[in-house]
């Protein structure tokens, strides 16, 4: 074994390190279906926690969950395509509804060709909009606040587990409102829900802001995002919230009778986060020993490994661990006693790689001395040395909830310091920007850590914006967002030289 539990370090090769964590933490694997992943129990457990925590927040803000069809008629997509520039067309298309046996071979049955192809939903604006159009009659029906948890499919050429897959899981909120003010308030409210959720549950600090025009969701008037800084300095867009104006309402005839009896178009919003968040958690908290999970999303917060020796005393050890488990569960802690028939050291390291927040190892001396020996995954080592602590059983149990809260806070603090400390604000012009991020050649995957820059911006649109986007693209850079908290706006735009009206974040990104 190398000095660390993984054979590749973040420093040496960040993309390979990422793949190693996904694999060694048993989170997910590629499937025989192009671009689709298999989410394994430990990865799924994280997603279950994410769902539970976020779903509660979505309900607490007045939304109701529904479920809409997986398939969307092609005519719906065509209608949207007419209204929405930049409409993406890479999607899975169902054309037949039967297979038949022909000469011992299974083939498409040409008699079972669909009259109208069906699209596997890439997002559900159109099919939900169609329902809104039927459900909404009067201002009394507004706001209509709906969310769904679903799988969606977007045909992607280059895929990476969790970060970009053909099929992924997400929640998509869709709401309709009587006017712009109400719809914009909703858009901002859900952005704030995402920010708070990301920081307090995922321990992943983010910057919430508005996307520039070129990064808007097709059909949106305004797109907001939360952006997180990964340990290679790249940005990950972790969630988006869109104010769609009346574009979708027009395309789908979503109207209501207002209090004065007039038919009026609704203003709609949509917002979503996906399994991509799990990739963000890995790249925010992982270290060279594997994953480190914030306790709030760890499927098991404390894992107890009895140091079994295939001897009669094992039964006593297991009994000791069992009562420890029960006492911890009484606090609502998610605990596992790992009695798999594997060597204790192997089990320890498998839980280190999976990122269980607290790993307890119980040997004979602990049991007889009524002690608990444990490791904190967030502070596993002192230098190269693995650090373990021993405490009286009663004290360990009494302090366990506080210990988990401390680990949650320490993971957040570490990531927050990284984010705050790596946003450069001194860039004055494009040359400095270019110099800061280094040569254009070189692998964008494994470039040296450069963090983000915050630069003055004059909010150009149209062709001028496109030209800037192209220049940035040559440096593998993108505009992330204009932070909601702008601070001081001064000086001139690094691109146009005109007086700045806001500040924007620029970074390499996933």
Which residues would be at the binding site for a second copy (CB under 8 A)?
31-33, 36-41, 44-45, 47-48, 64-74, 76-78, 81, 89-101, 105-106, 108-109, 117-120, 127, 130-131, 140, 146, 150-151, 153, 155, 167, 169, 340-342
Q: Which is nearer to a second copy, 31 or 257 (CB)?
A: 31
CB of 77 to a second copy, least distance (A): 6
Rounded (10°) CA dihedral 151, 157, 162, 167: 10
CB of 417 to a second copy, least distance (A): 34
| Count of residues making up the chain | 510
Cα angle 224, 226, 229 (rounded to 5 degrees) comes to 145
Token digits of residue 324: 């420890």
Q: Which is nearer to a second copy, 67 or 439 (CB)?
A: 67
Token digits of residue 108: 């498409």
Q: Which is nearer to a second copy, 52 or 405 (CB)?
A: 52
Burial 268-292 (b: 16+ CB within 10 A, else e): bbbbbbbbbbbbbbbbbbbbbbbbb
Q: Which is nearer to a second copy, 142 or 415 (CB)?
A: 142
**Do residues 91 and 142 touch, judged by C-beta distance below 8 A?**
no
CB of 438 to a second copy, least distance (A): 36
CB of 263 to a second copy, least distance (A): 20
Cis amide bond preceding 425, omega within 30? no
CA–CA distance, 505 with 510 (Å, rounded to integer): 15
CA–CA distance, 406 with 400 (Å, rounded to integer): 10
Q: Which is nearer to a second copy, 78 or 489 (CB)?
A: 78
Q: Residue 169: in which H helix or E strand, if any?
A: strand 167-177
Q: Which is nearer to a second copy, 76 or 452 (CB)?
A: 76
Strands (E) located in 396-477: 423-424, 452-457
CB of 266 to a second copy, least distance (A): 18
CA–CA distance, 414 with 229 (Å, rounded to integer): 12
CB of 257 to a second copy, least distance (A): 14
Q: Which is nearer to a second copy, 121 or 393 (CB)?
A: 121
CB of 130 to a second copy, least distance (A): 6
């Amino acid at each position: 074994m190398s000095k660390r539990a993984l054979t590749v370090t973040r420093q040496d090769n960040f993309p390979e390190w990422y793949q190693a964590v996904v694999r060694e933490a048993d989170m997910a694997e590629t499937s025989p279906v192009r671009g689709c992943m298999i989410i394994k129990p430990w990865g799924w457990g994280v997603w279950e926690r994410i769902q539970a925590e976020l779903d509660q927040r979505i309900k607490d803000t007045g939304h109701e969950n529904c479920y809409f069809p997986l398939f969307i008629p092609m005519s719906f997509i065509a209608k949207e395509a007419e209204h929405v520039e930049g409409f993406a067309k890479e999607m899975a298309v169902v054309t037949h509804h039967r297979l038949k046996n022909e000469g011992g071979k299974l083939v498409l049955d040409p008699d079972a060709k669909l009259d109208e192809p069906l699209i596997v939903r890439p997002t559900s604006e159109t099919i939900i909009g169609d329902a809104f159009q039927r459900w909404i009659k009067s201002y009394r029906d507004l706001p209509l606040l709906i969310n769904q948890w679903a799988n969606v499919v977007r045909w992607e050429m280059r895929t990476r587990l969790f970060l970009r897959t053909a099929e992924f899981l997400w929640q998509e909120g869709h709401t309709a409102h009587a006017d712009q003010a109400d719809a914009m308030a909703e858009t901002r409210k859900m952005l704030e829900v995402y920010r708070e959720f990301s920081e307090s549950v995922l321990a992943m600090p983010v910057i919430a802001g508005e996307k520039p025009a070129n990064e808007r969701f097709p059909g949106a008037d305004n797109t907001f995002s939360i952006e997180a800084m990964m340990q290679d300095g790249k940005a990950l867009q972790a969630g988006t919230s869109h104010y769609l104006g009346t574009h979708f309402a027009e395309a789908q005839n979503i109207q209501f009778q207002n209090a004065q009896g007039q038919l009026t178009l609704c203003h709609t919003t949509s917002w979503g986060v996906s399994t991509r968040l799990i990739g963000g958690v890995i790249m925010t908290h992982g270290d060279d020993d594997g994953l480190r999970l914030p306790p709030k999303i760890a499927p098991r917060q404390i894992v107890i490994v009895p140091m079994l020796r295939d001897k009669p005393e094992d039964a006593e050890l297991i009994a000791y661990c069992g009562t420890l488990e029960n006492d911890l569960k009484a606090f609502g802690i998610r605990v596992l006693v790992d009695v798999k028939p594997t060597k204790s050291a192997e089990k320890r390291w498998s839980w280190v790689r999976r990122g269980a927040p607290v790993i307890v190892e119980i040997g004979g001396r602990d049991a007889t001395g009524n002690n608990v020996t444990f490791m904190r995954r967030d502070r596993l080592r002192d230098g190269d040395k693995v650090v373990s602590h021993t405490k009286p059983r009663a004290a360990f149990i009494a302090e366990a909830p506080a210990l988990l809260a401390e680990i949650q806070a320490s993971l957040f603090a570490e990531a927050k310091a990284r984010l705050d400390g790596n946003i450069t604000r001194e860039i004055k012009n494009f040359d400095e920007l270019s110099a800061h991020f280094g040569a254009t050649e070189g692998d964008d995957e494994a470039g040296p850590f450069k963090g983000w820059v915050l630069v003055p911006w004059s909010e150009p649109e149209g062709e001028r914006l496109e030209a800037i986007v192209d220049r940035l693209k040559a440096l593998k850079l993108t505009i992330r967002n204009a932070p909601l908290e702008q601070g001081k706006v001064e000086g001139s735009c690094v691109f146009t030289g005109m007086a700045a009206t806001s500040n924007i974040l620029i970074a390499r990104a996933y």
